[in-house]
Amino acid sequence: MNKNLIIGAALIGGGAYYAYKKGLFGKGKTEIPEEAIKQNQEVIDKLAIEKAKKVATAAVVVKTATAIKQATDITNPKSYAGKVAYIQGQLNVPTDGDAGAVTNKAFAAVYGLDRGNISTDNIDYYVARVKAKNTLSAIKAAAATINARKSAAVNISNDAKKFLELVNDGKYKATLTKDVKANAFVFDNLKKVFVDVNQPTTFPKGLTFGKGQFSTQPRGIYVLKKGANNKYYAISINDFLVTI
């Protein structure tokens, strides 16, 4: 029994000394084990990660809010609302950036909703039409002009000589009725022939030619349009509308 009491007292005394060494009694030298330092660093690292996540989330929220504001701001000419507001201003209807019934009705009356009601899918197309003043009345006038020109057109089908007499030597105009890709030729002075130099050029529909713009000699049903650097471009006369 005495032996056990002695051992117990020794253990109690050892624990008290350990507590003293750890500063638990407010006295003695304080020691910080490496494990405690490691645990503290892990806590610090976790807090830093959480803070970084919060900062990143906040940045995304701000960026998203900014993007939404820009997309719906009628003062931004590149936003859908801004484009609608531009159209509304041209139509003299309330400018709110919302293509509702009033805006669509006004647009249909002036321009025609050929691609359906105004939406994000067709807004750029409709803005381009407004900028080009492509109104229903303008379309009708253009069609009338084309019809008048067709009714006054001269039939030069397959007659290149007549074409040159009317256009190259006379007062008539020749207008392309479609886009045409024409081969380029140069005149070979030694062989006295035109040689294809394999440099085709595209002439757009609606382009008009007049007096002196062609070679005086036809090549079958083709006439040679004069170009730069002694080049000529072969175009079929059947691709032209000849009018006074």
**pLDDT tens-digit series, residues 188-205:** 999 889 999 999 999 999
Is position 93 within any domain?
yes
Q: Which positions of the chain have pLDDT values less than 70?
A: 1-33, 36, 38, 59, 61-72, 149-152
Same domain membership, residue 87 and residue 33: no
Is position 150 within any domain?
no
Give me the pLDDT at residue 137, please.
Answer: 93
Same domain membership, residue 90 and residue 68: no
Tell me how many domains the chain contains: 3
* CB-neighbour burial class of residue 184 (10 A; exposed 0-12, middle 13-18, buried 19+): buried
Is position 3 within any domain?
no
Same domain membership, residue 231 and residue 165: yes
Give me the pLDDT at residue 127, please.
Answer: 94
Same domain membership, residue 92 and residue 65: no
Give me the pLDDT at residue 210, please.
Answer: 94
- The three-point CA angle 37-38-41 to 5° equals 85
Give me the pLDDT at residue 143, please.
Answer: 83
Domain boundary among 28, 45, 72: 72
Same domain membership, residue 134 and residue 164: no
Is position 9 within any domain?
no
Domain boundary among 72, 91, 115: 72
Same domain membership, residue 133 and residue 104: yes
pLDDT in tens, 26-63: 444 455 567 767 677 777 778 878 888 888 777 676 66
Same domain membership, residue 201 and residue 179: yes
Strands 184-188 and 193-196: antiparallel
Is position 38 within any domain?
yes
Give me the pLDDT at residue 20, please.
Answer: 46
Domain hosting 188: range is: 160-243
Helix axes 34-72, 80-91, angle to 10 degrees: 20
Give me the pLDDT at residue 67, please.
Answer: 56
Residue with tokens 């229903």: 136
Is position 123 within any domain?
yes
Give me the pLDDT at residue 54, please.
Answer: 81
Same domain membership, residue 233 and residue 192: yes
> What's the rounded Cα separation, in Å, for the pair 10 and 75?
85
Give me the pLDDT at residue 47, please.
Answer: 80
Give me the pLDDT at residue 151, please.
Answer: 67
Helix axes 101-110, 80-91, angle to 10 degrees: 60
Same domain membership, residue 189 and residue 125: no
Same domain membership, residue 85 and residue 131: yes
As a three-state string, the secondary structure of 22-54 is HCCCCCCCCCCCHHHHHHHHHHHHHHHHHHHHH
> What's the rounded Cα separation, in Å, for the pair 99 and 126?
12
Same domain membership, residue 68 and residue 121: no
Domain boundary among 72, 101, 117: 72
Same domain membership, residue 169 and residue 234: yes
Is position 7 within any domain?
no
Q: Distance between terminal CA atoms of the chain? A: 138
